[in-house]
Amino acid sequence: MKGKLANSNQSLDIEDLALTNSTKNSESSINPSIQTIELYVEKDGDRLDKWLSLQLPDISRSRLQKLIESGNLSLNEQVCPNKKTKLKIADRLVLKIPPPTKLDLQPENIPLDVLYEDEHLIVINKQVGIVVHPAPGHPNGTLVNALLYHCDNLAGIGGVERPGIVHRLDKDTTGAMVVAKSDLVHQHLQQQIKAKTARREYWAVICGSPKENKGKIDLPIGRHRSDRKKMAIIPTEKGGRDAITHWEVITRYGNHTLMRFLLETGRTHQIRVHSTYLGYPLVGDQLYGSGGSLKVNLSGQALHAYKLTLQHPITEQIIEAIAPLPNEFSKLLKVLKNRQ
């Protein structure tokens, strides 16, 4: 089923990127904190919540269901709280998205490894074990808390919950991340990632040795059906979202390989899911593989955002930030080399 999105500027992936604000119509201008999205149905078909999740893939289906049940969706000018409602051609839907609950974020003096910084943006080398933004189980001690201490003008940029965050890395993934210091820069950087003009290069050590030297993985990713902590290969018709990863062998170490991964999309756990699906789990990845049998103490998976290339939104100059490999990653490569 297809739908038409009117008067809206959809947000990017909320699992990998911070939310952007939708264009607001006259009703939301009364309360500018409310996002309003207007859609029209072009074909008969699915139940309401499923159709919405296909039209608005940047919002999780569970959140859409909660918005519907709480009376934030109107169908043909009438509030529709039933997520199972069947849609018809020419139906008009108006979805109101209330602002996120404001978090009491406190600046914390947590050291940052800064790769580049000016008055518009900052690129940091994220360390292993640090969560990007507060979430259940991680109310403080996050990268956002550290950034609020380091940058005194960051609060509220791009959203209250994730100020300045353009994209994110998993807790145990290290490497280069860019953070915006103004809404204009934040929007520009998000558009670069969406348009694939920003280049994100990751290095990883996998278990196994692919026959080819390079390739492309084009497999949709969605939430695992039984284990909600994991992602999985899910067909798009069942809620999976397009995910494209390019890979290339850097060095082979017997039954292990140092790989270069380039992302076209930014789905949660994308590299880990794609590589594991092909039979090559990342060394140290306890969630998607056994973690490997190497006698090297790793704090997480051997995955590092090695290089980030983007255009500066203000000066238009190309910034290429390289994050040095963490000590654990370098030690792992030495062990593999000595085993040959």
List, for residues 205-221, the tens digit of each pLDDT value.
999 999 999 999 999 99
Q: Is the pLDDT of residue 8 over 50?
A: no
Token reading at 143: 């990268």
Cα(172)–Cα(191) distance, rounded to whole angstroms? 26
Q: Is the pLDDT of residue 9 over 70?
A: no
- Residue 160 lies inside a defined structural domain of this protein: no
Beta strands in 273-336 (DSSP E): 303-311, 318-322
Last residue of a domain, one of 37, 67, 97: 97
- Residue 224 lies inside a defined structural domain of this protein: yes
Q: How far is C-alpha 152 from the chain's CA centre?
A: 25
- Residue 33 lies inside a defined structural domain of this protein: yes
- Residue 31 lies inside a defined structural domain of this protein: yes
Region of residue 269 (phi > 0: left; psi between -120 and 50: alpha; otherwise: beta): left
Last residue of a domain, one of 70, 97, 124: 97
Token reading at 146: 């550290």
Q: Is residue 170 annotated as a catalytic residue, yes or no? A: yes
Residue with tokens 């029209």, as numbered in its chain: 40
CATH number at residue 296: 3.30.2350.10
Regarding whether 209 and 334 lie in a shared domain, the answer is: yes
pLDDT-derived band of residue 13, with 50, 70 and 90 as boundaries?
Answer: very low
Q: What's the confidence (pLDDT) of residue 100?
A: 59
- Residue 168 lies inside a defined structural domain of this protein: no
List, for residues 285-333, the tens digit of each pLDDT value.
999 987 666 767 788 899 999 999 999 999 999 999 999 999 999 999 9
Taking the CB of residue 255, how many other CB atoms lie within 10 A of it?
Answer: 12
Contact 56, 37 (CB under 8 A): yes
Task: Please spell the DSSP secondary structure of 16-64, one letter per residue.
Answer: TB---PPP--HHHHHSTTSEEEEEEE-SS--BHHHHHHHH-TTS-HHHH
CATH number at residue 81: 3.10.290.10
List, for residues 257-280, the tens digit of each pLDDT value.
999 999 999 899 999 999 999 999
Catalytic residue among 13, 16, 49, 170: 170
Q: What's the confidence (pLDDT) of residue 22?
A: 35
- Residue 195 lies inside a defined structural domain of this protein: no
Token reading at 220: 């949709």
Residue with tokens 């914390």, as numbered in its chain: 108
- Residue 155 lies inside a defined structural domain of this protein: no
The average pLDDT across 101-129 equals 90
Domain of residue 228 covers 201-305+329-339
Last residue of a domain, one of 41, 62, 97: 97
Query: Could you give the percent of the chain with pLDDT greater than 70?
Result: 85
Q: What's the confidence (pLDDT) of residue 258?
A: 98
Greater confidence (278 vs 59) lies with 278
Token reading at 195: 């348009």
List, for residues 136-146, the tens digit of each pLDDT value.
777 789 999 99
Q: What radius of gyration, in Å, describes the C-alpha atoms of the chain?
A: 21
Regarding whether 335 and 223 lie in a shared domain, the answer is: yes
pLDDT-derived band of residue 162, with 50, 70 and 90 as boundaries?
Answer: confident
Cα(96)–Cα(225) distance, rounded to whole angstroms? 28
Instruction: Choose the weakest-confidence range: 45-59, 74-88, 270-284.
Output: 45-59
Contact 299, 258 (CB under 8 A): no
The total domain count for the chain is 2
